[in-house]
Amino acid sequence: EPREKLSLQNFEELLPRSFPPCMRRLVEKQRETTKHLKHAGRLQLRPFLKACGFTFEESCQWWKKELCRDPLITSETYEKSYHYDNEHAYGKKGHHQGQNCFGCPKIIGSPGEAPGQVHGCVFKQLEPSALQNQLQRWQVPLPAMMEIQRLIKEGKHYQLACIEYFKSQHPLSDGEGVGNSPVDFFRSSVRFHKE
Ligand code: SF4
């Protein structure tokens, strides 16, 4: 049976259900602030959406709609300055092979966020109180939240924290396969919901 793939039709359902925290935060922040994602965030998110199943056409539609929430980006600016990134990600131009989604170690190793930027791993990027607020907004139950905080405080175990998050959202799951790559998180979640 073919795996459920991300599409424009199921996007709003899968965003809270199956997106890893790093990618969910990028999408939600961009919507909340109506400030477009800066380069590092787009570079992190775009190949992920592709790996989860967005076709080139879906990617073009989605990015245009989301980036144009920012009043500073008109349809024309989008076509002129941002459309190329889709072609690049899907290997549509020149000799490019297209882009693959970064793994967790690379995302965790991203530089800190400058003002206006959103990227990186939630567990590494956010200060303890901001992380707590974020996890509360995502309705992570208290015991899981405390375990996540402990893992980070005691050993900077960001990937294990991500497994805890996964387990809190997928009851009775052991979180196997989570913590290596955001795409693995997504696939584990999709598998969980199919079983
Ligand atoms: Fe994303 Fe990996 Fe961090 Fe989880 S551990 S939030 S999948 S970068």
Q: What is the pLDDT of residues 44-54, one digit of tens each?
A: 999 999 999 99
Residue 6 in any domain: the answer is no
* pLDDT number for residue 2: 57
Ligand 1 within 6 A of CB of 165:
no
* pLDDT number for residue 191: 93
Residue 5 in any domain: the answer is no
Residue 2 in any domain: the answer is no
Residue 74: which region, alpha, beta or left (left: phi > 0; alpha: psi -120 to 50)?
beta
Instruction: State the distance from the centre of ligand 1 to the C-alpha of 181, rounded, in angstroms.
Output: 7
Helix (H, G, I), strand (E, B) or coil at 177: coil
Q: Report the nearest-CA residue for atom 7 of ligand 1.
A: 182
> Is 119 in contact with 40 (CB distance < 8 Å)?
yes
Ligand 1 within 6 A of CB of 162:
yes
This prediction has a pTM of 0.94
Residue 4 in any domain: the answer is no
Residue 185 in any domain: the answer is yes
Residue 86 in any domain: the answer is yes
Residue 179 in any domain: the answer is yes
> Is 123 in contact with 135 (CB distance < 8 Å)?
no
Q: How many CB atoms lie within 10 A of CB 173?
A: 18
Split into its structural domains, the chain has a count of 1
End-to-end CA distance of the chain: 12
Range of the domain at 117: 11-194
Residue 80 in any domain: the answer is yes
